[in-house]
Amino acid sequence: MATKPRIELRRPRLLAVLAVSIAAITTATAGAQPGPATGNAERGEELFTAIYKCYACHGFDAQTGQRRLVPMNYAEEGFITFVQNSPLPQMPAYADVSARDLADIYAYIRSLPADAPDVEDLPLLRAIREETRKALAD
């Protein structure tokens, strides 16, 4: 019985994290297709993996980590602004990273094929998203 209150306290926190993640996915996929990338994808791969170690949170394929980046549906300028001024608590703002470096990382992410299935194709994730939406509506 002593663990039950702890579990109940964690569930709202988990739902909040899921809500932010789902909102980010929905926002990223809701817009029009972004224009072409202007950066250097080869240099971006090195920046993503070796320099800034983005893979630690986003996975080596940018779609298996905490936040899926592929397919990248943000425009390049929006991506750069977001990374430099991240409002998400689980992602620090990288204000000191140059726009050139971020354009290269963006080009690399845009060069990656989308291998992971869409959220709509995964019944469990669909159910979690719906439960989260209902919890937030209450």
Q: What are the chain's domains?
A: 3-137 (1.10.760.10)
Return contacts of 94-103, CB within 8 angstroms, 24+ apart: 94/52, 97/52, 100/39, 101/47, 101/51, 101/52, 102/39, 103/37, 103/38, 103/39, 103/44, 103/76
Query: How large is the average pLDDT for residues 115-129?
Result: 78
For a pLDDT cut of 90, what percent of the chain falls above it? 37
pLDDT score recorded for residue 114: 81
